């Protein structure tokens, strides 16, 4: 035979040539086009697979490569299972990156943006992703942001978009305000600059109105969302239960209401504190104390967020000159202003209970205010404020006594009493703040509002949408504290739609997270012209069955998109309230234990890796490296090893000598069992996103097939064909080029991506014999080959008769025998 020659010639395939060969074939076959009709007619069940769309800041990088590889496994697998898969892709193409680049290059942000999109698009194609490109969208297209603006107006109609004057986070680097979610450790989430506070009138979405639902609806998601993300959101929403309590203030009609989680400690409230930067403080302060207060406020305003957030900082504050009355003790208590109380949480004021709150304790010590303990600390306790459990003390007046009650009971009694007296009530509070959505930058969706001196805020009439961005470029885009749009005279000056008088457009643009809060809906009907989406199409495809992306968006995109979905549901446009049924949060690709970065010089260039090892090897490496949620250290993995494996698998396809369609039933049973067991297990593993194990099992199948060819049933056995075809199908989820090449060599038409998931022959999953282990005192002493359906009694008898077991028992008395047929016998002596 020409085995030597054949073997030599078939030792490997040319990776680059294979990639070039299949791309046009797939382009023509378009195997991933989602067919609306197939779902509408009930021909196939729908499956909406979505992966977070990228921001076009440059070419695709390792991070993209990982998500896409993982996501592709899911999309391709579901398709093979018979689902009609909607797997769209687009670009989150508004944002500062392009704007900053445009300033530097003296061009329009669109130039940079759309050029990068084309680069990424080509890379996606090369990367062999299973996207339906016919649904491609870009959030910076007027056809798209038309509807972002429309949604803004709808939200406003429902009272969910409003303007208010408030202290806001300001990023001095990006020259714009930021939402709370976009401030991480006092720094801008985007650029890392230290955030400062400014008092500005800004647009907000009233996400707090949905706090309870955003929290409650998380429960059913917890099963199929990563714990991390669920916990992040729960923490971020920060629900707490307590009470509102009204305090009379001398010389003032209106009571001073506070929120507290410890109404049971009311007897220990010896002073009150108002947030220094709350308007309330300015209202309360006496003329006499005003200069001191204003000096303090000035100081507070100068402090950065980072300074303010330090919890070990000494307490500062100023007396406002007024007194309130503790409603239970009747005591006259002073009202102070301090920066440890937050203006935008609760009512912006607290009752201070230094006996039971460390912060209040520190403040009381600093300003020599009285401290009363109202919860009995345990024997020998030596701390300062006591926050633990215990019976109430010093908590009685003529009307009510809490003394002796435990904390929970005391809370209940106090709330009941307050309610009866009309002094307060139980209350729930959230840490979540409204979403500040306006940005003082150019490259985003303009806020479709016109400010008229006589009519006030006037929405742009719907038939005048979209409000298209003007043609600004280069220096015109330089950030100057207000949006560059404000300086575009032709654009900003308009006639009021209401009265026809001269008016100005709102010159801010929307946070780009608004754009991405509804894109998954648009994909269901990307061409919709009379609404953001066709509700019927969304009913058909939605919600997203599997979302894949980075968990860094835990409280950003993933929270905002949930909010949008609920609002749209309330508007009657959606029949579901949660957008993403399941979420897979993949880890990040690092190098040598560190995040890849230019400054560390440890970046790994995706393009170079693809050139060197090929698309399939890189994808395989990323999928095989670890469970999808774990980080991958590029220094720990071996794309070269992946390529070797792919070549080894591919070589099988050249060795098969039986004809396509050969009856596998006549083939070697041993190999068939391995094949069918692998398919059976792979299905379950894929359901559970155990992709790395699926690859490992595929490797085993390749090894078993190799062995069968070389030293077993031989290349002509139909079982070898069956096994090799199965390898091609399994590999097609991860390594589409290699799989396609194998499929062709096996005598089939492309594309392997279009074949059905193999049917498992259940009879081949049954083993003739299984190995039962026999333990004595929990230690393995013998192995027995037994029938899978052996009875407990027979197995026990066989075990007791085994010479090794008899030796191990060594004549001792058998006290107990545990039998788990057919796998195990444990003898206790």
Partner RNA sequence: GCCCCGGUAGCCCAACGGCAGAGGCGAUGGUCUCAAACACCAUUCAGUGUGAGUUCGAAUCUCACCCGGGGCACCA
Q: CA-CA distance, 583 to 232, in Å (whole number)? A: 14
HEC sequence for 237-287: HCCEEEEEEEEEECCCCCCEEEEECCHHHHHHCCEEEEECCCHHHHHHCCC
Contact 376, 248 (CB under 8 A): no
Q: How far apart are CB 565 and RNA at their closest, in Å?
A: 21
Compare residues 316 and 498 and give the one whose CB is closer to RNA. 316
Q: What sign does the CA torsion over 241, 246, 249, 255 have?
A: positive
User: Phi/psi of residue 464, each to 5°?
Assistant: -100, 5
Q: CA-CA distance, 167 to 185, in Å (whole number)? A: 18
Counting contacts by CB under 7 A, is residue 709 touching RNA? no
Contact 665, 671 (CB under 8 A): no
Compare residues 27 and 710 and give the one whose CB is closer to RNA. 710
Binds RNA by CB under 7 A, chosen from 566, 706, 721, 745: 706
Helix then strand then coil, in percent of the chain rounded to 5, is 45, 20, 40
Spatial CB neighbours of 702, under 8 Å, sequence gap ≥ 6:
645, 648, 649, 652, 727
Binds RNA by CB under 7 A, chosen from 280, 625, 662, 674: 625
Binds RNA by CB under 7 A, chosen from 105, 158, 279, 313: 313
Compare residues 240 and 376 and give the one whose CB is closer to RNA. 240
Counting contacts by CB under 7 A, is residue 104 touching RNA? no
Counting contacts by CB under 7 A, is residue 458 touching RNA? no
What does the DSSP assignment read for 58-108?
SS--HHHHHHHHHHHHHHHHHHHTT-EEE-B--B---SHHHHHHHHHHTS-
Q: What sign does the CA torsion over 452, 456, 457, 459 have?
A: negative
CA-closest candidate to residue 277, choices 334, 176, 349, 208: 349
Site string for RNA, 29-58 (x = CB under 7 A): ------------------------------
Q: How far apart are CB 37 and RNA at their closest, in Å?
A: 40
Q: How far apart are CB 775 and RNA at their closest, in Å?
A: 5
Number of residues that make up the chain:
829
Compare residues 318 and 452 and give the one whose CB is closer to RNA. 318
Q: How far apart are CB 488 and RNA at their closest, in Å?
A: 36
Site string for RNA, 726-745 (x = CB under 7 A): --------------------
Q: Which of residues 130-149 bind RNA (CB under 7 A)?
A: none
Q: How far apart are CB 825 and RNA at their closest, in Å?
A: 8
Counting residues that bind RNA (by CB under 7 A) gives 82
Counting contacts by CB under 7 A, is residue 828 touching RNA? yes
Binds RNA by CB under 7 A, chosen from 151, 218, 246, 275: 275
Q: How far apart are CB 599 and RNA at their closest, in Å?
A: 17
Site string for RNA, 227-266 (x = CB under 7 A): xx--xx--xx-x-x-x---------------xxxxx----
Binds RNA by CB under 7 A, chosen from 120, 590, 775, 808: 775
Q: How far apart are CB 360 and RNA at their closest, in Å?
A: 7
Q: Are strands 449-452 and 502-505 parallel, antiparallel or unpaired?
A: antiparallel
Joined tokens for residue 63:
């991070």
User: Phi/psi of residue 334, each to 5°?
Assistant: -75, 150
Binds RNA by CB under 7 A, chosen from 633, 792, 794, 804: 633
CA-closest candidate to residue 776, choices 704, 717, 828: 828
Residue 325 CA to its chain's centroid (Å) = 47
Joined tokens for residue 574:
């959606």
Beta strand segments in 256-352, E: 256-260, 271-275, 318-325, 332-338, 349-352
Residue 262 CA to its chain's centroid (Å) = 33
Q: How far apart are CB 279 and RNA at their closest, in Å?
A: 14
Q: How far apart are CB 347 and RNA at their closest, in Å?
A: 7
Could you give the count of Cα atoms lying within 13 Å of 239 in the half-sphere of its Cβ?
14
Binds RNA by CB under 7 A, chosen from 38, 703, 716, 787: 703
Q: CA-CA distance, 25 to 753, in Å (whole number)? A: 12
Counting contacts by CB under 7 A, is residue 11 touching RNA? yes
Q: How far apart are CB 13 and RNA at their closest, in Å?
A: 11
Compare residues 191 and 818 and give the one whose CB is closer to RNA. 818
HEC sequence for 733-769: CCCHHHHHHHHHHCCCCCCHHHCCCCCCCHHHHCCCC
Q: Which of residues 79-98 bind RNA (CB under 7 A)?
A: none
CA-closest candidate to residue 494, choices 532, 448, 537, 438: 448
Candidates 403-411, 416-424, 498-506, 626-634: pick the segment binding RNA (CB under 7 A). Answer: 626-634
Q: What sign does the CA torsion over 108, 114, 119, 123 have?
A: positive
Contact 187, 196 (CB under 8 A): no
Counting contacts by CB under 7 A, is residue 780 touching RNA? yes
Count the Cβ atoms, other than its own, within 10 Å of residue 430.
18
Site string for RNA, 169-198 (x = CB under 7 A): ---------------x--------------
Q: How far apart are CB 12 and RNA at their closest, in Å?
A: 6
Joined tokens for residue 486:
């404000």
Binds RNA by CB under 7 A, chosen from 25, 115, 468, 640: 640
Q: Which of residues 475-534 bind RNA (CB under 7 A)?
A: none
Counting contacts by CB under 7 A, is residue 553 touching RNA? no
What residues does 620 pair with on adjacent strands?
none
Q: In the chain, what is the straight-line distance between the N-terminal and C-terminal CA atoms, in Å?
A: 63
Count the Cβ atoms, other than its own, within 10 Å of residue 232.
18
Compare residues 272 and 752 and give the one whose CB is closer to RNA. 272
Binds RNA by CB under 7 A, chosen from 456, 474, 627, 661: 627
Site string for RNA, 401-430 (x = CB under 7 A): ----------------------------x-
Candidates 158-166, 397-405, 526-534, 637-645: pick the segment binding RNA (CB under 7 A). Answer: 637-645
Q: How far apart are CB 343 and RNA at their closest, in Å?
A: 7
Compare residues 375 and 538 and give the one whose CB is closer to RNA. 375
Q: Which of residues 799-818 bind RNA (CB under 7 A)?
A: 816, 818
Q: How far apart are CB 689 and RNA at their closest, in Å?
A: 10
Site string for RNA, 336-355 (x = CB under 7 A): ---xxxx--xx-x-x--x--
Q: CA-CA distance, 106 to 426, in Å (whole number)? A: 58
Site string for RNA, 646-675 (x = CB under 7 A): -xx---------------------------
- Order of strands, edge to edge, in the sheet holding 502-505? 456-459, 449-452, 502-505, 493-495
Joined tokens for residue 110:
């669109």
- What is residue 772's DSSP assignment? E
What does the DSSP assignment read for 551-606?
GGGTTTHHHHHHHHHHHHHHTTS-S-S-SBS-EEEE--EEETTEE--TTTT----H
Candidates 280-288, 372-380, 411-419, 629-637: pick the segment binding RNA (CB under 7 A). Answer: 629-637
Counting contacts by CB under 7 A, is residue 773 touching RNA? yes
Q: How far apart are CB 207 and RNA at their closest, in Å?
A: 14
Binds RNA by CB under 7 A, chosen from 582, 716, 806, 824: 824
Q: How far apart are CB 32 and RNA at their closest, in Å?
A: 28
Binding-site entries for ATP: 598
Binds RNA by CB under 7 A, chosen from 778, 803, 810, 813: 778
Counting contacts by CB under 7 A, is residue 783 touching RNA? yes
Counting contacts by CB under 7 A, is residue 554 touching RNA? yes
Binds RNA by CB under 7 A, chosen from 645, 650, 737, 743: 645
């Amino acid at each position: 035979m020409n085995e030597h020659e054949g073997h030599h010639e078939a030792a490997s395939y040319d990776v680059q040539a294979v990639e070039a060969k299949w791309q046009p074939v797939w382009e023509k076959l378009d195997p991933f086009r989602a067919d609306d009709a197939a779902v509408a007619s009930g021909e196939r069940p729908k499956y909406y697979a979505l992966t977070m769309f990228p921001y076009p800041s440059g070419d695709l990088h390792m991070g993209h490569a990982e998500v896409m590889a993982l996501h592709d496994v899911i999309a391709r697998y579901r398709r093979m299972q018979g689902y009609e898969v909607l797997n769209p892709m687009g670009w989150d193409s508004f944002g500062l990156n392009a704007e900053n680049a445009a300033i530097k290059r003296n061009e329009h942000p669109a130039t940079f943006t759309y050029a990068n999109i084309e680069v990424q698009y080509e890379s996606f194609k090369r990367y062999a992703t299973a996207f339906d490109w016919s649904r491609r969208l870009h959030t910076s297209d007027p056809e798209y942001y038309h509807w972002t603006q429309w949604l803004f107006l709808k939200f406003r109609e429902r009272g969910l978009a409003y303007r208010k004057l408030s202290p806001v986070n300001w990023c001095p680097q990006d020259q714009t305000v930021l939402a709370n979610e976009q401030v991480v450790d006092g720094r801008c989430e985007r650029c890392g600059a230290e955030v400062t506070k400014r008092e500005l009138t800004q647009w907000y979405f009233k996400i707090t109105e949905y706090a309870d639902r955003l929290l409650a609806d998380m429960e059913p998601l917890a099963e199929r969302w990563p714990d991390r993300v669920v916990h992040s959101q729960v923490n971020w929403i920060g629900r707490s239960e307590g009470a509102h309590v009204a305090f009379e203030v001398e010389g003032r009609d209106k009571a001073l209401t506070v929120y507290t989680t410890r109404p049971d400690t009311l007897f220990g409230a010896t002073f009150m504190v108002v947030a220094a930067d709350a308007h309330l403080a300015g209202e309360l302060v006496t003329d006499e104390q005003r200069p001191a207060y204003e000096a303090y406020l000035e100081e507070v305003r100068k402090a950065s967020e980072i300074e303010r957030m330090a919890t070990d900082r000494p307490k500062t504050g100023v007396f406002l000159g007024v007194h309130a009355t503790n409603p239970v003790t009747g005591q006259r208590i002073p009202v102070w202003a301090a920066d440890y109380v937050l203006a935008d949480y609760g009512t912006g004021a607290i009752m201070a209970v230094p006996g039971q709150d460390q912060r209040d304790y520190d403040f009381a010590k600093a300003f020599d205010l009285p401290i009363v303990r109202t919860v009995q600390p345990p024997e020998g306790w030596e701390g300062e404020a006591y926050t633990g459990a215990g019976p109430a003390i010093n908590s009685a007046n003529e009307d009510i006594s809490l003394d002796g009650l435990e904390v929970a009971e005391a809370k209940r009694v106090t709330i009941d009493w307050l309610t009866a007296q009309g002094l307060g009530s139980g209350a729930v509070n959230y840490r979540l703040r409204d979403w500040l959505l306006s940005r003082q930058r150019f490259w985003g969706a303009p806020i479709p509002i016109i400010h008229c001196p006589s009519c006030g805020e006037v929405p742009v009439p719907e038939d005048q949408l979209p409000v298209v961005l003007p043609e600004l470029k280069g220096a015109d885009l330089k950030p100057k504290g207000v949006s560059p749009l404000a300086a575009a005279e032709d654009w900003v000056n308009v006639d009021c739609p209401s009265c026809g008088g001269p008016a100005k457009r709102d010159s801010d643009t929307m946070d780009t997270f608004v754009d991405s809060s509804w894109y998954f809906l648009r994909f269901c009907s990307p061409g919709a012209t009379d609404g953001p989406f066709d509700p019927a199409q969304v009913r058909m495809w939605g919600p997203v069955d599997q979302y894949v992306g980075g968990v860094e968006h835990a409280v950003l995109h993933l929270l905002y998109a949930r909010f949008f979905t609920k609002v749209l549901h309330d508007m009657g446009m959606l029949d579901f309230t949660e957008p993403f049924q399941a979420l897979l949060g993949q880890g990040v690709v690092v190098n040598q234990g560190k995040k890849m970065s230019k400054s560390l010089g440890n970046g790994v260039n995706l393009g170079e890796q693809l050139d060197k090892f090929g698309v399939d090897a890189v994808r395989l490496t990323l999928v095989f490296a670890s469970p999808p949620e774990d980080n991958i250290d590029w220094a720990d993995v071996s794309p070269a090893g992946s390529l070797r494996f792919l070549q080894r698998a591919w070589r099988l396809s050249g060795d098969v000598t039986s004809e396509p369609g050969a009856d596998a039933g006549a083939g070697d049973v041993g190999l068939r069992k391995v094949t069918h067991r692998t398919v059976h297990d792979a299905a379950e593993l894929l359901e559970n996103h155990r992709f790395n194990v699926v690859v490992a099992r595929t490797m085993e199948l390749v090894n078993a097939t190799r062995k069968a060819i070389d030293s077993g049933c031989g290349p002509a056995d139909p079982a070898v064909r069956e096994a090799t075809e199965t390898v091609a199908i399994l590999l097609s989820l991860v390594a589409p080029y290699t799989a396609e090449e194998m499929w062709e060599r096996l005598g089939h038409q492309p594309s392997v991506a279009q074949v059905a998931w193999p049917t498992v022959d259940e009879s081949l999953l049954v083993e003739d014999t299984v190995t039962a282990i026999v333990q004595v005192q929990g230690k393995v002493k013998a192995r027995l080959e037994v029938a899978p359906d052996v009875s407990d009694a027979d197995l026990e008898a066989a075990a007791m008769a085994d010479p090794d077991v008899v030796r191990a028992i060594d004549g001792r008395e058998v006290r107990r025998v545990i039998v788990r047929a057919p796998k195990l016998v444990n003898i206790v002596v």
